[in-house]
Amino acid sequence: MSNNDPRSRIALALDVPDLDAAKRLIEQTQAHVGVFKVGLELYISIGPKAVEVVHAAGAECFLDLKLHDIPATMGRAVARASEMGVAYLTVHAAAGREALQAASDHAGTTRLLAVTVLTSLDATALDEIGLEGDPRGAADRLGKLTWSSGIRGFVTSPLECAGLRDLFGHEAFIVTPGIRPAGTDIGDQKRVMTPSDAITAGADLLVVGRPIRDAPDPAAAARDIALQVDAALSS
């Protein structure tokens, strides 16, 4: 898929409890979605089979385990994920320079994505965990640490996306969760944006979960988001 194909710009979160539910959601949406994200719930439930079912559908797998550990463990875990052939793998930028460098050294063909500030956190929550300032400032600081460690991919809220794009230019690959079509419930997310606005802000890949998964017709919901992405890419 080309970068101008809307499917390549949408990652559907397979936040479901079992293999059958994952297969069903992939089948319903794969005409409009090119990347499927395997997160903690599904991976803990069925392990590597979750990656296999995505690959069997001919799609790219985004393994979202948010690794945060000592450098040696990070390096070995990233190496195993790369051997599985996943296209994307998340690590926490807050793991520190040595851990990020170890991850980068073992990534192979897998693109690493460093999580800056979770979309469920606001300034008050950041202060409680010892990160001073607002989410934009924290994302910029963690982004600079990530960049200097050799990792060129980021996960950040759409509200911090433009700032990271300004800092690092087109070489950066920016993934934005917290995508909510206009009029939908934002749930536990604090910093959200519509699909078209996120693309305009500079996002390369949009992570969408509940607006598709919980829709009465997931296929129609995926199609509508793909149309919004296509319109933004064409403008």
Gap between the Cα atoms of 12 and 126, Å rounded = 27
Catalytic residue among 23, 37, 49, 66: 66
Quote the CA–CA distance of 112 and 82 in Å, as a whole number.
Answer: 10
Cα-atom radius of gyration of the chain, to the nearest Å?
17
What would the two tokens of residue 166 be?
């300004």
String of DSSP letters for 99-162: HHHHHHHT-TTSEEEEE-S-TT--HHHHHHTT--S-HHHHHHHHHHHHHHTT--EEE--HHHHH
66 is catalytic: yes
Positions annotated as catalytic residues are 66
